[in-house]
Amino acid sequence: MSADRSIAGSATPRPEPERAATASIPALPYVRAIAPYAPGKPIEELAREFGLAARDIVKLASNENPLGAPESARRAMHAAVDDSGRYPDGNAFALKATLEQRLRVPQEWLTIGSGSNDILEMAAAAMLAPGRSCVFSQYSFAVYALATQARGARPIVVPAKEYGHDLPQMARAVCADTRLIYLANPNNPTGTFVDGRALEAFLGSLASDVVVVLDEAYNEYLPPELRYDAIAWVRRFPNLLVARTFSKAYGLAGLRVGYGVAQAELSGLLNRVRLPFNVSTIAQAAACAALADEAFLRRSHALNRAGLRELDAGLRGMGLETVPSFANFLLVRVGPAARAYRELLARGVIVRPVGSYDLPDWLRVTVGLPQENERFLKALPAALAAAQAAGA
């Protein structure tokens, strides 16, 4: 009997673990040196990591609209599902036609992207290469540095002024080899804002061979008295590209759809480097519906303004410093931010540490629903006390 078992066992030996082949991939050194972008922690990941119920977790980390997708967009998505077996319209005709009517620009001035992030990358692909430089501010969106580095171009990082853009210094930083400037207004991750008159003067001071990407991902959250007409500037400045997204105020972050507005020559360059079929049929349909849903946009704006006030008052009431924000998030100095972040995670609250932005003492907190903001404000004192104790 034992012999039979021995024979049977020898007939099915345990396979040796497969060994990966080694190779020396001749990667470009500036690509190999890139530190990959780290997104905010997903709810499901935190639930697994800490054994929490996903329904009890509050995520205030990725500047998403807490209202989610508008019902109008949901209906459009359902209607578009039947066409999912076919490739999307690579030219996004319906979405461009909707934007053309809304913005009063020709369709050839429009580029559709997989989020505005895609527009930022297209600008880098069209304008940057080894031997060229790109100007952007300290404490600005991480993708600016990543897109520059991925093309082997030289980043020129201008020191921030009060956590925001120092436009005179940025203008002086432009060199003979500068071909691109990234400028976010409002800025991420700090929430700061540049007055429209100062921005217009900055655009007028630049040579026409320097492309400016005006990243307006948070534009819809501005109070009416601060808004300016960036599309009118596109008509005056052929080197201006305005990038916008449906991921924030329009509530479509999971669909990845955005757009760029520039004159025909610059838009033509972007569309030469744009990937084919880069925005899905469902995303295009949802974006068209969301653009027409003014009631949802007004509701999102009002909710955000109230939430910003609530968060700012609560944090200042704890004696914490905040940066005045014009977006849908707030930057708060907490001291041991990395430890505070972990303590908040253990309490089921996800925010965003910004040490990678050279802000190691700060956390970025997205405006949520009233009950989510309250949950964060209630969890923070205990999290900070635990973080201080752990570092003592």
Looking at the predicted structure, is the pLDDT value of residue 224 above 90? yes
Query: In whole angstroms, how far apart are CA 176 and each of 158, 210, 352?
Result: 16, 10, 37
Q: Which residues contact 164 (CB under 8 A, 6 or more apart)?
A: 137, 139, 187, 190, 192, 193, 194
Tell me, what CATH number does 207's domain have?
3.40.640.10
Shared-domain flag, residues 164 and 265: yes
Residues 160, 168: Cα–Cα separation, whole Å: 11
Shared-domain flag, residues 212 and 273: yes
Percent of the chain with pLDDT over 90: 86
Lowest mean pLDDT among 53-57, 288-292, 331-335, 369-373: 53-57
Shared-domain flag, residues 251 and 270: yes
Other CB atoms within a 10 A radius of the CB of residue 383 amount to: 23
Shared-domain flag, residues 202 and 344: no
Shared-domain flag, residues 247 and 128: yes
- For residue 59, what pLDDT is reported? 96
Contact predicate 336/387, CB 8 Å = yes
Confirm whether 8 is domain-assigned.
Answer: no
Helix (H) or strand (E) segment spanning residue 2: helix 2-11
Which of 277, 292, 307 delimits the end of a domain? 292
Give the angle subtended at the CA of 37 by the CAs of 181 and 370, to the nearest 5°. 95
**Tens digits of per-residue pLDDT, 141-170?**
999 999 999 999 999 999 999 999 999 999
- For residue 282, what pLDDT is reported? 97
pLDDT band at 210 (very low <50, low <70, confident <90, very high): very high
Shared-domain flag, residues 319 and 348: yes
Which of 267, 292, 317 delimits the end of a domain? 292
The structure tokens listed for 218 are: 């948070």
pLDDT band at 21 (very low <50, low <70, confident <90, very high): low
Shared-domain flag, residues 313 and 276: no
Looking at the predicted structure, is the pLDDT value of residue 8 above 50? no
Tell me, what CATH number does 369's domain have?
3.90.1150.10
Domain count, the chain: 2
- For residue 7, what pLDDT is reported? 39
> For 81, which DSSP code?
G
59 three-class SS:
strand
- Residue 140 is which amino acid? S
Percent of the chain with pLDDT over 70: 94
**Tens digits of per-residue pLDDT, 343-378?**
999 999 999 999 999 999 999 999 999 999 999 999
pLDDT band at 230 (very low <50, low <70, confident <90, very high): very high
Contact predicate 301/350, CB 8 Å = no
Shared-domain flag, residues 253 and 148: yes
Confirm whether 252 is domain-assigned.
Answer: yes
Contact predicate 276/118, CB 8 Å = no
Print the domain residue range for 273.
71-292
Contact predicate 134/178, CB 8 Å = yes
Shared-domain flag, residues 151 and 231: yes
Confirm whether 13 is domain-assigned.
Answer: no
Shared-domain flag, residues 55 and 159: no
Lowest mean pLDDT among 42-46, 99-103, 215-219, 227-231: 42-46
pLDDT band at 30 (very low <50, low <70, confident <90, very high): confident
Contact predicate 86/281, CB 8 Å = yes
The structure tokens listed for 233 are: 């500037």
- For all residues of the chain together, what is the average pLDDT? 93
Give the angle subtended at the CA of 116 by the CAs of 349 and 282, to the nearest 5°. 85
Mean per-residue pLDDT for 316-321? Answer: 97
**Tens digits of per-residue pLDDT, 34-70?**
777 777 888 999 889 889 899 999 999 999 999 999 9
Torsion over CA of 313, 314, 319 and 325, rounded to 10 degrees?
A: -50
The structure tokens listed for 327 are: 């977006």
350 three-class SS:
strand
HSE-up of residue 389 (Cα within 13 Å, Cβ side): 7
Residues 243, 33: Cα–Cα separation, whole Å: 27
Q: Which residues contact 60 (CB under 8 A, 6 or more apart)?
A: 349, 350, 351, 365, 366, 367, 368, 372, 373, 376
